[in-house]
Amino acid sequence: EMAQLEYLLPRLAGSGTALSRLGGGIGTRGPGETKLETDRRRVRRRLADLKRQLGEVRKHRQLLRETRTAAGVPLVALVGYTNAGKSSLLNALGGTAVATGDRLFDTLDPATRRVKLPGGETVLLTDTVGFVRNLPHQLVAAFRATLEEVAAADLLLHVVDAAAENRDGRIRAVEEVLADLGAQSIPCLLVYNKVDLLGGADACLDWPEEASFVSAATGEGLPGLSAAIARALAADRVRETFCIPYARAGLLTMLHGRGRILREVHAPEGIVVEAEVPAAWAGRLRAALGSGGA
């Protein structure tokens, strides 16, 4: 709704110009202009209310993200062009129904499910709004609360409609949005969905070797995708040493949740910790500390 209103507001002025001509005299006001001003005030009030609500939603989701981080459960985010089948894939992997459809931006509230991987590790799999080419800046702002789930992820699953025309163009469009979100450095698996519409994965033999080929509708390729997720999360771990100030000891709790602690020493300047952690999360922790690893 917020995106629709922000799109509508500047266009109301153009309508008012035409409507004001109904007035007809110098110093008079056309009936259309009066209604225009009323509509614009109503839209602005509604926008202000929606922005306030959105701010509260973002704070709530930030708290949830911090809770997940402290619990040490990796977050895997589904991204992709609109109607690539992300919600269907979430349903297939997570075993819980989430609303699906062919409408643009059908998923605006990220749905998150717990998924157990072949090795026994549990991850959180979250759905996101579908991307489109040349997404207007006002829409990016309106969907920021949804898209923030992407930047907080440990791993991205870039879901592509295998049966869609211009697949490569859609892949590039998604990569552009990821870059705008600052998420281009997060490990990413390419997942071609809907291979059943092509006759199965055999029809994709000359496609990228590192990709996964699945069908959320039939279940084809899902065990292999789960194994690929487990491998990607295991491979994307680095050994880092951090010096955490005593005043920010809460970061140590997060570190215990996200990584495997190898060494912990209490020094005058803070707590020196050597740990194995996901590479993307290590980067975020270094940024939070300001001066990187100790």
Q: Name which residue leads in pLDDT, 247 or 44.
A: 247
pLDDT at 106: 41
Give the pLDDT mean for 213-231: 94
Residue 280 and residue 135 share a domain? no
Distances (CA, A) of 275 to 185, 227, 261: 21, 25, 4
Residue 85 and residue 202 share a domain? yes
Is the per-residue pLDDT at 28 higher than 50? no
Q: Is residue 59 part of a domain?
A: no
Residue 79 and residue 32 share a domain? no
Q: How confident is the model at residue 68 (pLDDT cuts 50, 70, 90)?
A: low
CATH number reported for the structural domain that contains residue 246 in this entry: 3.30.70
CATH number reported for the structural domain that contains residue 133 in this entry: 3.40.50.300
Give the pLDDT mean for 140-163: 79
Q: Is residue 61 part of a domain?
A: no
Question: Could you report the per-residue pLDDT of 109-142, keeping only the tens digit for each?
Answer: 457 888 888 877 788 888 887 766 665 555 655 5
Q: Which residue has the tokens 């996964």?
A: 212
Query: Rounded to an integer, what distance in angstroms lies between the CA atom of residue 134 and that of residue 43?
Result: 25
Q: Is residue 60 part of a domain?
A: no
Residue 275 and residue 145 share a domain? no
Most confident of 21-25, 247-251, 266-270: 266-270
pLDDT at 159: 96
Q: Which residue has the tokens 């952690």?
A: 277
Residue 253 and residue 205 share a domain? no
Q: How confident is the model at residue 59 (pLDDT cuts 50, 70, 90)?
A: low
Give the pLDDT mean for 7-35: 51
Q: Name which residue leads in pLDDT, 4 or 93.
A: 93
Q: Is residue 151 part of a domain?
A: yes
Q: Is residue 62 part of a domain?
A: no
Question: Could you report the per-residue pLDDT of 188-215, keeping only the tens digit for each?
Answer: 999 999 999 987 767 777 788 889 999 9
Q: Name which residue leads in pLDDT, 144 or 33.
A: 144
Q: Is residue 32 part of a domain?
A: yes
Contact 225, 212 (CB under 8 A): yes
pLDDT at 192: 95
Residue 141 and residue 181 share a domain? yes
Residue 164 and residue 48 share a domain? no
Give the pLDDT mean for 42-59: 73
pLDDT at 290: 80
Question: Total domain count for the chain?
Answer: 3
pLDDT at 217: 94
Query: Rounded to an integer, what distance in angstroms lies between the CA atom of residue 58 and that of residue 163?
Result: 35
Identify the domain containing residue 228 by its residue range: 73-235
Residue 98 and residue 206 share a domain? yes
Query: Rounded to an integer, what distance in angstroms lies between the CA atom of residue 160 and that of residue 178?
Result: 15
Residue 177 and residue 50 share a domain? no
Query: Rounded to an integer, what distance in angstroms lies between the CA atom of residue 100 and that of residue 210?
Result: 27
Q: How confident is the model at residue 57 (pLDDT cuts 50, 70, 90)?
A: low
Residue 246 and residue 175 share a domain? no
pLDDT at 283: 81
**What is the residue type of 293?**
G
Query: Rounded to an integer, what distance in angstroms lies between the CA atom of residue 186 and that of residue 290?
Result: 20
pLDDT at 208: 84
Residue 93 and residue 219 share a domain? yes
Give the pLDDT mean for 228-242: 87
Considering the chain, what is the average pLDDT of its residues?
76
Looking at 34-38, 167-171, 271-275, which range is the least confident one?
34-38
pLDDT at 64: 59
Q: Is residue 176 part of a domain?
A: yes
Contact 160, 189 (CB under 8 A): no
pLDDT at 137: 56
Q: Is residue 64 part of a domain?
A: no
Residue 241 and residue 225 share a domain? no
pLDDT at 285: 84
